[in-house]
Amino acid sequence: MSERLTQLDVRRSLPWLVVGLLVFGALLYIVVLAEPSPDIGGNWRSTTFGSAIDDWQSFTRTLLNGLTFAALLFIVASGFSLIFGLMRVVNMAYGSFYLVGGYIAYEVQQRMTGAGFTIPGIEVSTWEWVFPAIVAAGLVGLLGLVVQQLFLSWNQGQELRQALITIAISVIIADQVIAHFNGGLASTVTWPGWTNRLVELPLLGVDYSLARLVMLFLGIAVGIALWVWLYRTRTGMVIRAGVDDLQMTSALGVNIKRTLAIAFVVGSALAAFGGVVGASQGAIAPGQDGQWLLNSLVVVIIGGMGSLLGAAVGSLLYGLTFSFSAVYLPTIGDNCCTQYSIVFTFILLALVLAFRPQGLFGKFS
Amino acid sequence: MTRDPKQITERTIGLVAVCVLLLAPALFSDYWVDVILTQMLIVGIAAASLIFLAAYGGMISLAQTALAGTAGFILGNLATVGGEGGESKGLALGWDPTLSLVIAIVGTVLIGLFFGAIAARSTGIYFLMITLTFSVIGFYFVGQVTVISGFSGIGGINRYTPGFIGDMVNDRYRLFYIALGVALFVYAVIRFVVRTPFGLSLQGVRDEPVRMSSLGYAVPLHRTLAFGLAAFFAALSGVLLVWWQGQVAPGDVGLPATIDLLVVAVIGGLARIEGAWVGALAFILIGNYIRDSWLTRLLDDLHIGGSFNTIIGLIFLLIVIVSPDGLVGLWDRLWGRIQGGGDSDATVAPAGAVPREV
């Protein structure tokens, strides 16, 4: 009896042991072991910046890069998770919504500033960033409503068919984006002028881009707004009830069709808003729809479908893994090893799936 | 044996199709044999691996393109020769072509088993999402790791074929017949496997995973093994594809390529293996003959804009909405209509195309 118990304990603690060792090893490497890479050669300890103790500023910047990227991930993936959690719709056109959102904001900002191809960053006012973002979120929300009403409302429950339908829509949107937005060229939305500088962070002692901090703030703001909406309003209550049991909620006399439509619109608008933020931080280009569909998928697979907390934790884990693996992998020679950073995303995903197929905060498998 | 008129008709059509294909070099132009029919056979094999999983395992996998690409990349890295006059991209190890071929196929199957083991505990829509994620990560992997491919990919792979395969560069009919042979082999293997005890319990797992599990069947193991077998088919198509194209590049495993294969399978029909080649033929014909036809010009006339991909998307959308079982599903329904609606043909997999969720 006691022997069986021990076996059980070993089996239970094995995941934590594996994960713990990996995390400990990675931390040890980053904090102590890593060394700045020499000009020639290098060994397994050579990295871009060296250890956190040696080069505190680079470490902090990498950390902040990870956090700000996680904020963007969260803005995008929370909408994906909301739609999935409530309707069981895997919206494969979600990346396309991101792309369309970014491009709409670009076009609107171009018209507002009338500055042509490149806008001098310093001349953009806050309103000239906020208004395009609102237009983009609103229009893509409308697009989401049309897609949901036309293609997804009459086949509720046929998950794979819905996924296939949204794939078809994503193919059409991807092609239409190239045809209609800036000739399908990579395009940038410009942050408001006042964010275009570095700020010195108190306590940490590093200079950091204010625009990226704004991005972090926007992510947190979206998170708080979603939490208030889902946990402190009537609509949010209905949505949470719907996530748990859609039929029962419907049977209680709630107008569930309206709720589903609202959730889909909000989810689509979040994709578009994420697209605006992403287009401001980097650039937006055809093909990124696939990339952001992947990002959303990774986040919700890690965090669990339909969970706000899961989306937040998934974004953090993915964002930090992404940011640190790109900088703290050994740099030996020309071809090793930072180019393998994508492997870490996969390891993260495989670990979660191996031990918790439903995701860290997923409710069912 | 039943004397079902539908079955007799289908077998006749199948037999005629195989005969026509055997005589294809005499019947069709070189362009048709080399581009349309060979491509149809190769893409059909990849689609068959997807449909096999969908129809008999209830798993819609979007990793098949990535697995086919894996075989292509392994082969490209091992078989090509670097240095003067060789290929500059990839590892260019210059190993024996036969050995490289075996490693490419076995390696892909092993990778498929590994992916399958991770994904096997999920079903339905989760499975689709996880396999899609694998596939996109694979795309970024080959795109980023310049040692094994780089953005432009590896070329000239068809110059390094095993002796028993022969010259792939000049003798294009040879490749056509090899593709035909492999396609028939894959079809036969699938038809055989689904009748074995493993195939039957796999279909049990598809329909009633909970019941099968409580009967003592290892549900994840069945799914994993099925995934491994499908990876084998995908590997075969991947090898043929690099011989046909001569090269392999990250674009071969990108999201558009992944979706194309899904479109092929859905156009053909996810419920029956035959749909793989039907869908491939339809897709390639559309791709070759609608690209610059009145349909794409119609887009401009209506001021919608866009290219061939919009048409493909619209056709795909139409098929998913009108007939989720694809062209083969239409055919099945047509026969159901003729026979008075009482279609109880067992070959029409009941839950194949759109597996029910528990």
pLDDT digits (tens, 9 = 90+) for A108-159: 988 888 766 566 666 788 888 999 999 999 999 999 999 999 998 888 778 8
Q: Residue B307: its chain A contacts at CB < 8 A?
A: 175, 178-179
**Is there a domain that residue B312 lies in?**
no
Whether B322 contacts chain A with CB within 8 A: no
Give domain status of residue B357, yes or no: no
Per-residue pLDDT, A342:
79
CB contact under 8 A, A365 and B122: yes
At B341, which amino acid appears?
A: G
CB burial string B235-260: b at 16+ within 10 A, e below = bbbbbbbbbbbebbbbebbbbebbbb
Partner B contacted by A205 (CB < 8 A): no
Residue B55 has pLDDT above 50, yes or no: yes
Chain A: residue whose CA lies nearest to B255: A290
A226 pLDDT band, cuts 50/70/90, is very high
Selection from B90, B51, B47 nearest residue B238 by Cα: B47
Token pair, residue A9, equals 């304990």
Amino acid A96: pLDDT: 94
Look up the CATH number of the domain holding residue B93: 1.10.3470
The answer as to whether B351 is a domain residue is no
B357/A157 touch (CB, cutoff 8 Å), yes or no:
yes
In a domain, B341, yes or no: yes
pLDDT of residue A361: 86
Q: Is position B311 within any domain?
A: no
Among chain A residues, the shortest Cα distance to B310 is held by: A172
CA A272, B250, B152, A329 torsion: positive or negative?
positive
Nearest to A335 among B134, B146, B309 (CB): B146
Considering the domain boundaries, does residue B300 fall inside one?
no
User: Are B124 and A159 in contact (CB < 8 Å)?
Assistant: yes
In chain A, which residues have their Cβ closer than 8 Å to the Cβ of B128?
90, 160, 163
Q: Which of A201-215, A284-298, B98-112, B342-356 has the lowest mean pLDDT?
A: B342-356
Q: How far is the alpha carbon of A184 from chain B, nearest alpha carbon, in Å? A: 11
Give the C-alpha separation, B253 to B136, whole Å: 8
Coil, strand or helix at B94? coil
H helices within B59-162, ranges in order?
Answer: 64-79, 97-119, 124-144
Tell me the residue range of the domain where B88 lies: 5-289+323-346
Best mean pLDDT range from A189-193, B260-264, B293-297: B260-264
Residue B307 covered by a domain: no
pLDDT at B84: 55
Q: What is the pLDDT of residue B346?
A: 41
Residue appearing with tokens 């098949």: B64
Residues B100-105: what's their mean pLDDT?
A: 93
Strands (DSSP E) contained in chain A are: 35-36, 46-47, 198-200, 207-209
Q: Give CA–CA dist B259/B283, Å, rounded.
A: 12
Domain membership flag for residue B79: yes
Query: What is the rounded distance in angstroms from the CA atom of residue A146 to the CA atom of residue B56?
Result: 35
Q: How does residue A172 score in pLDDT terms, banded at 50, 70 and 90?
A: very high
pLDDT at residue number B358: 33
pLDDT at B314 exceeding the cut of 80: yes
Place of tokens 């946990």: A231
Report residue B72's pLDDT band, with 50, 70 and 90 as the boundaries. very high
Question: How many angstroms separate the CA atoms of B283 and A316, rounded?
Answer: 41
B124-144 helix and B64-79 helix, angle to the nearest 10 degrees:
30
Question: Could you count the other beta carbons within 10 Å of the beta carbon of residue A139?
Answer: 18
Give the integer Cα–Cα distance in Å for B100 and B94.
Answer: 9
The answer to whether the CB atoms of B305 and A179 lie below 8 A apart is: yes
Q: Please, what is the average pLDDT of chain B?
A: 84
User: Phi-psi bin for B357: left (phi > 0), alpha (psi -120 to 50), beta?
Assistant: beta
Contact state of A172 with B306 under an 8 Å Cβ cutoff: yes
Whether chain A has a CB inside 8 Å of the CB on B146: the answer is: yes
The ipTM, to two decimals, is 0.81
Residues 271-330 of A with CB under 8 A from B: 290-291, 293-294, 297-298, 301
Q: How many domains does chain B have?
A: 1
> CA nearest A177 in B: which residue?
B306
Of B285 and A122, more confident: B285
Distance from CA of A297 to the nearest CA of B (A): 7
Q: How far apart are CA B146 and CA B152, in angstroms?
A: 10
pLDDT of residue B356: 38
Mean pLDDT, residues B87-102? 79
How far apart CA B129 and CA B152 sit, in angstroms, is: 28
